[in-house]
Amino acid sequence: MKSFLTVFMSLIVSSFAHSAEVSITMDDFNVHEETRLPADKRNEAILGALEKHRIKAALFVTCKHLKSPQDEKLLAEWSRQGHLIGNHTVNHKRFDAKVSVTDEIAEIQQCDEQLKTQKNFEKIFRFPMLAEGDTAEKRDAVREWMKKNSYRNGHVTIDASDWYVDRRLRDKLATDPNFDLTKFRDFYLQHMWDRAQYYNDLSKKVLSREVKHTLLVHYNLLNALFLDDLIAMFKKRGWKVIDAQKAFKDPVFTKLPNNMPSGQSLIWALAKESGKHESELRYPGESDTYEKEKMDALGL
């Protein structure tokens, strides 16, 4: 018979083995946005939250926002602190009917030229709005180019609408500078937890396991204010927050799902491809329209 201690220890070990894992991947580096915090303070706040929790994120850069040596300097700080730098095109266009394969590849190449002097730059690409092409032919043509040019897809597994919460936050502050920010924080954390649960559950259903997640957040005021709280929430609720570099090593990121419409969260895409989870897949996976009513009701 096992001793009480052995059983107790194995329970502890198994509870560790089963904690879900998530990394922070941040899109749309942009130090030109007009917000309450100036660019350098916003950069410091976001990097400070990551530093506090000792985690390395991935930052996907939209190159049109790199306009001056000062911008390059703020970006270089991410490399200096050990974060991964990835490509998010020059102009952040949705890869749809208006954008050809040639245009899309030119967008990646031009941004690559601008980013390659950054110490921690890697050939990892995230599609703007997670749109991987409006036809299977276009999707596959860019995949082929990426493969030939040693580019990986910087997939999102947990998609969300932090960008919309940020927009509402900035609108609110424009009319009411003293609005209670904790109300936005609480809504934001609840929203992110809700989406994390959904995509993690979907991962278990589709892949029979929890993948190492890449959570999508944006470089904005909301995260300058609350990224620390967001990371703390995941830890408090038993998730392990890991480096983005480590998450991207999960074999799930080598998959090439053939779902149409293309893109979305990688987990959504794999669920769509399987054809087995239709009732659980809304399209698009995330949108401001899903959050609007809830935020209206809360006066946010």
Contact range with Zn ion by CB under 5 A, out of 42-50, 126-134, 281-289, 292-300: 126-134
CB of 83 to Zn ion, least distance (A): 17
Q: Does 27 bind Zn ion (CB under 5 A)?
A: yes
Q: Does 112 bind Zn ion (CB under 5 A)?
A: no
Contact range with Zn ion by CB under 5 A, out of 4-12, 23-31, 184-192, 201-209: 23-31
Q: What are phi and psi of 285, to 5 degrees?
A: -55, -40
Nearer Cβ to Zn ion, position 28 or 122?
Answer: 28
Size of the site for Zn ion (CB under 5 A): 3
CB of 261 to Zn ion, least distance (A): 17
- Residue 181 · residue 290 · CB < 8 Å: no
Nearer Cβ to Zn ion, position 92 or 143?
Answer: 92
Nearer Cβ to Zn ion, position 63 or 211?
Answer: 63
Q: Does 166 bind Zn ion (CB under 5 A)?
A: no
CB of 27 to Zn ion, least distance (A): 4
Report the residue number whose CB is nearest to Zn ion: 27
Nearer Cβ to Zn ion, position 67 or 80?
Answer: 67
Nearer Cβ to Zn ion, position 27 or 132?
Answer: 27
CB of 126 to Zn ion, least distance (A): 7
CB of 131 to Zn ion, least distance (A): 10
Contact range with Zn ion by CB under 5 A, out of 20-28, 73-81, 113-121, 277-285: 20-28
Q: Does 28 bind Zn ion (CB under 5 A)?
A: yes
Nearer Cβ to Zn ion, position 27 or 122?
Answer: 27
The secondary structure of the chain, three-state, reads CCCHHHHHHHHHHHHHHCCCEEEEEEECCCCCCCCCCCHHHHHHHHHHHHHHCCCCCEEEECHHHCCCHHHHHHHHHHHHCCCEEEECCCCCCCCCCCCCHHHHHHHHHHHHHHHCCCCCEEEEECCHHHCCCCCHHHHHHHHHHHHHCCCEECCCCECCCHHHHHHHHHHHHHHCCCCCHHHHHHHHHHHHHHHHHHHHHHHHHHHCCCCEEEEEEECCHHHHHHHHHHHHHHHHCCCEEECHHHHCCCHHHHCCCCCCCCCCCHHHHHHHHHCCCHHHCCCCCCCHHHHHHHHHHCCC
Nearer Cβ to Zn ion, position 42 or 210?
Answer: 42
CB of 127 to Zn ion, least distance (A): 9
- Residue 140 · residue 100 · CB < 8 Å: no
Binding site for Zn ion (CB under 5 A): 27-28, 128
